[in-house]
């Protein structure tokens, strides 16, 4: 086996098969992947370089770094133009045009004169949306590790802490449990350090990033999350911290408060229970073949019945989705949003996060990561769902 | 003043002036920036949206998120195509073609029919290479905070720690000192969580990323840095941890070891002293107008004289540079590399990192961040430079 490939041969074969089926449907003759997430999916490791996968024939690999991965089909290169020296191709070549910079895409286009360049970003997103049993196992492992951290959260809090001091304890606990810290997001516009801890009204501060919740952050260079707010009785702390323990992420949110949760604003308690109910309803409804937007509508209907629209998915600023696929990256397919055309498929990994922001109290609600099996959704993030006391 | 702009008007004016001078030289009529680092440079905050800067006339801002930043010249949009509805432009429009995805660049090109699209990535890199006094102050503040953490490092170590356990303590200390954690890198191919801690021979593991040092990492999805190595006597621990405290990063590396540093392999001690000497020589030589590659040659010459080429900038795998500009991102101009055509300019912020990997011992050397003034380089990362004992 090629020392570059860091996957069991069967697993690698399975992923190639899925990819080639999609290539065949799309009429693409060969693809070239270079995005770290796509390389990790394809090779089982991140390299600086390119994976070339023809619809027929053997894949070839063009490596800049690291040194030392010589093997069949591996070529060391210093410039992407050298790829063309090793390849005979007519027809269509798929590139990650939603991710590759314009400049790099043009360089590659010029390196393959006479070849038609097509965009395979949607195809690659699709190929990663269905997780193999091997990938599901890695996600389960992340879920178990993340759950261990979450169960222990009340013990990480001391009276008088700010949100950021509390977050630092959560970061440390996560890292000691094996969290890689890396928070992979497709595209370059979203940024977050390790997770989002929102205390009190900071949850209502709009952020530029397309996450379900906002927060001011510590600096306008990274305006999201904890901002130094003192954690107070009568207010909530929402914890949504990094679940990447295996290269595959789980996403879990839980809500906490100092003191007795029953003393919180009844509106917040009602909204929190509704979030749990929505997760359960989505989990019971989701099946392979269900339209993703229907899950959104189910949730929106429950919120409307409860009269809580004003607070749903944010208050001053609202997110346009209640859930998202995830795995190697936090924003994979399917998207659970009103206009999503995605259809749920067996093997999807989906985070559902129906959250509310109650002014004066803070954010409430939960988020779970589910694997979609033939018989329904299975939660792999199983820390207690109720609002837990930090005291 | 426009509530969107988070910079003192004078500072904003200064940055606009630099930009427009470069636009004028390049014959660009207007530019559109959307990269987070460029937006932060331009507005003093990150938004999801676009800054439109014509060579003459008032800038305009096209915002998707966050809500609430209404003001003169601010337009809320949901799609980039809407930008064209607000703009009358003939001539050339500069886009960040080295960063924008091919798909997004094409959407923008189609939204401005008859307008010539040019690449302004190099121009924007140039505009950020010279730091204003205001930016220099933010970098100094990062340097002071980072120095406080570094001075305290020996107290964070306990016998029997692995590199990752030690790193977790460094992460916590940095965060409590105000470190934002965010490690901004231009382009999407380089990834790192919080910093690079290298113990013993793990420093010699080649990484795919184009950093000065490697390391295996904890997982093939993020193959860089600490890998769980036990920290041992007779081996070094190189600490190169995040210095982003203000949105502007400093970059500092120091070397530590358990036990008495004088017991280390004499080759390692010699190489470490040479690293200090190279930093000092570079600092004494660098002046506005000096060619960046000459600094590299100066360093390479000193290494050759000492007969340490084999270990310089890596052993199994070598980095091709000894220094780099930095500020909002870790990889700014100028690049201190053999073929760099950059010429040093007053206001540059430059990290110099002449490092060595000694097999059996680990990584040695230091890194400092310097501001280039009219009279020379001033280090803003001033923790002790000698190899310090962790015991």
Contact pairs from chain A to chain B, CB under 8 Å: 189
Q: Enter the tokens of residue A279.
A: 């997760």
Could you write out the DSSP letters of every residue in B313-378? Answer: T-SSS--S-SEEE-SSSSSEEEEESTT---B--TTBEEEE--EEEETTTEEEE-BEEEEEETTEEE
A189·B165 Cβ contact <8 A: no
Q: What is the pLDDT of residues B72-113, one digit of tens each?
A: 999 999 999 999 999 999 899 999 999 999 999 999 999 999
Q: What is the distance between the alpha carbons of residues A316 and B68, in angstroms, rounded to a whole number?
A: 9
Mean pLDDT of chain B: 97
How do A254-257 and A388-389 pair as beta strands? parallel
3-state secondary structure of A196: strand
pLDDT of residue A188: 78
CB-nearest to A222 from B95, B180, B214 is: B180
Mutate to test the interface with A, among B38, B41, B46 (most CBs of A within 10 A): B46
Contact across the interface for A45 and B121, Cβ inside 8 Å? no
Contact across the interface for B65 and A176, Cβ inside 8 Å: no
Residue B391: the pLDDT is 83
Which H or E run includes A389? Answer: strand A388-389
Determine contact, residues B248/B328, Cβ cutoff 8 Å. yes
Q: Is the pLDDT of residue A2 over 90?
A: no
Q: Do B180 and A193 touch (CB under 8 A)?
A: yes
Q: Please report which helix (H) or strand (E) contains residue B254, including its range.
A: strand B254-257
CA distance B330 to B381: 15
The pLDDT tens digits of the residues spanning B189-217 come to 899 999 999 999 999 999 999 999 999 99
On whether the CB atoms of residues A286 and A379 are closer than 8 A, the answer is: no
Closest to B332 in 3D by CA, of B319, B351, B354:
B351
Q: What is the DSSP letter of B298?
A: H
Question: What tens digit of pLDDT does each residue of B337-376 get?
Answer: 999 999 999 999 999 999 999 999 999 999 999 999 999 9
Contacts of A21-25 with CB under 8 Å at 24 or more apart are: A22/A123, A22/A126, A22/A127, A23/A53, A23/A55, A23/A94, A23/A120, A23/A123, A24/A55
Residue recorded with tokens 């259809």: A343
CA distance A43 to chain B (A): 10
DSSP string, A59-100: -EEEEEESS----TTEEE-SSGGGGGGG----SEEEE-TTTS
- Chain A residue with the nearest C-alpha to that of B220: A45
Tell me which H or E stretch contains B244: none
User: Does the pLDDT at position A13 exceed 70?
Assistant: yes
**Do β-strands B116-119 and B92-95 pair in parallel, antiparallel, or remain unpaired?**
parallel
- Dmax (CA) of chain A: 70
- Taking CA–CA distances from B37, the nearest residue in chain A reads A221
CB-neighbour burial class of residue B363 (10 A; exposed 0-12, middle 13-18, buried 19+) = buried
Whether the pLDDT of residue B1 is over 80: the answer is no
Of B50, B58, B65, B61, give the one whose Cα is nearest residue B20: B58
Rounded to a whole number, what is the distance in Å from the CA of B35 to chain A's nearest CA? 7
CB contact (8 A) between residue B6 and residue A220: yes
pLDDT over 90 percentage in chain B: 98
- Residue B311 DSSP class: G
**pLDDT tens-digit readout, A237-276:** 999 999 999 999 999 999 999 999 999 999 999 999 999 9
Are B240 and B321 in contact by the 8 Å Cβ rule? The answer is no
Range B229-233 average pLDDT = 98
Q: Which of A76, A185, A208 to mutate to test the interface with B (most CBs of B within 10 A)?
A: A208
Could you tell me which of A350, A349, A330, A353 has the C-alpha nearest to residue A279? Answer: A353
Average pLDDT of span B125-146: 98
Spatial CA neighbour of A202 closest among A317, A307, A353, A312 = A317
Q: pLDDT tens digits, residue range A312-361? A: 999 999 999 999 999 999 999 999 999 999 999 999 999 999 999 999 99
CB–CB contact A99 B99 (8 Å): no
Dihedral, B287, B291, B295, B301 alpha carbons, nearest 10: -130
Residue A240 in contact with residue A252, Cβ under 8 Å?
yes
* Residue B188 binned pLDDT confidence (cut-offs 50, 70, 90): confident
Interval B9-19 mean pLDDT: 97
Strand partners of residue A198: A238
* pTM exceeding the 0.90 threshold for the entire prediction: yes
ipTM score for this prediction = 0.97
Residue of B nearest to A214 (CA): B66
Cα distance between residue B38 and residue A163, in whole Å: 29
Query: Are the CB atoms for B365 and B355 separated by under 8 Å?
Result: yes
> What's the CA gap between B183 and B244, in Å, rounded?
7
For residues B217, B220, B222, B224, the Cα torsion angle rounded to the nearest 10 degrees is 30
* Rg (alpha carbons) of chain A, rounded to whole number: 22
CB contact under 8 A, A218 and B121: no
Q: Per-residue pLDDT for B55 more than 80?
A: yes
Q: Do A206 and B67 touch (CB under 8 A)?
A: yes
Contacting residues of A for B178, CB less than 8 Å apart: 218
Q: Which residues of B touch A205 (CB under 8 A)?
A: 66
Q: How confident is the model at residue B2 (pLDDT cuts 50, 70, 90)?
A: confident
What letter would DSSP give residue B310? G
Residue pair A368/A355 in contact by the 8 Å Cβ criterion: no
Per-residue pLDDT averaged across A280-287, rounded? 98
Q: Which of B102, B176, B189 sits opposite A105 (nearest CB)?
A: B102
Alpha helices in A255-382 (DSSP H): 266-285, 292-306
- What pLDDT does A1 receive? 65
Return the structure tokens found at B256. Answer: 């530590």
Residue with token string 């795995």: A327
Return all residues near B59 (Cβ < 8 A) that are at least 6 apart: B16, B51, B52, B53, B73
Contact by Cβ (8 Å): A136, A349: yes
Q: How far is B170 from chain A (nearest CA, A)?
A: 10
CA distance A220 to chain B (A): 5
| Whether A32 contacts A108, CB under 8 Å | yes
What three-state secondary structure class fits A355?
A: strand
């Amino acid at each position: 086996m090629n020392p570059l490939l860091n996957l069991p041969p069967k697993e690698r074969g399975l992923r190639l098969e899925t990819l080639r089926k999609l290539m065949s449907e799309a009429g693409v003759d060969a693809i070239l992947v270079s995005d770290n997430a796509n390389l990790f999916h394809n090779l089982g490791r991140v390299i600086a370089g390119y994976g070339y996968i023809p619809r027929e024939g053997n894949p070839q690999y063009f490596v800049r770094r690291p040194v030392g991965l010589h093997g069949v089909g591996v070529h060391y290169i210093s410039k992407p133009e050298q790829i063309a020296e090793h390849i005979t191709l007519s027809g269509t070549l798929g590139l990650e045009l939603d991710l590759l910079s314009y400049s790099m895409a043009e360089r590659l286009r010029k390196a393959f004169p006479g070849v038609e360049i097509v965009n395979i970003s949607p195809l690659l997103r699709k190929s990663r949306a269905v997780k193999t049993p091997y990938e599901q196992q890695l996600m389960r492992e992340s879920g178990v590790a993340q759950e261990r951290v979450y169960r222990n959260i009340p013990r990480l809090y001391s009276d008088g802490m700010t949100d950021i001091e509390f977050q630092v304890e959560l970061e440390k606990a996560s890292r000691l449990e094996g969290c890689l810290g890396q928070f992979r997001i497709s595209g370059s516009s979203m940024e977050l350090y390790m997770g989002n801890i929102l205390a009190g009204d900071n949850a209502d501060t709009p952020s530029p990033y397309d996450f379900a919740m906002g927060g001011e952050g510590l600096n306008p260079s990274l305006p999201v999350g904890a901002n130094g707010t003192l954690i107070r009785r009568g207010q909530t702390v929402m914890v949504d911290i990094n679940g990447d323990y295996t290269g595959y992420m789980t996403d879990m949110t839980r809500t906490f408060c100092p003191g007795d949760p029953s003393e919180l604003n009844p509106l917040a308690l009602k909204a929190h229970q509704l979030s749990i109910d929505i997760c359960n309803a989505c989990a019971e409804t989701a099946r392979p073949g269900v339209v993703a937007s229907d899950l959104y509508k189910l949730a929106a209907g429950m919120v409307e019945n409860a009269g809580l629209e004003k607070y749903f998915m944010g208050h001053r600023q609202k997110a346009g989705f209640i859930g998202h696929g995830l795995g190697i990256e936090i924003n994979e397919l399917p998207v659970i949003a009103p206009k999503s055309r995605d259809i749920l498929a067996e093997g999807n990994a989906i985070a559902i996060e129906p959250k509310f922001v109650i002014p004066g109290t803070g954010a409430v609600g939960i988020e779970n990561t589910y694997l979609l099996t033939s018989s329904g959704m299975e939660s792999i993030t199983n820390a207690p769902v109720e609002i837990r006391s930090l005291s």
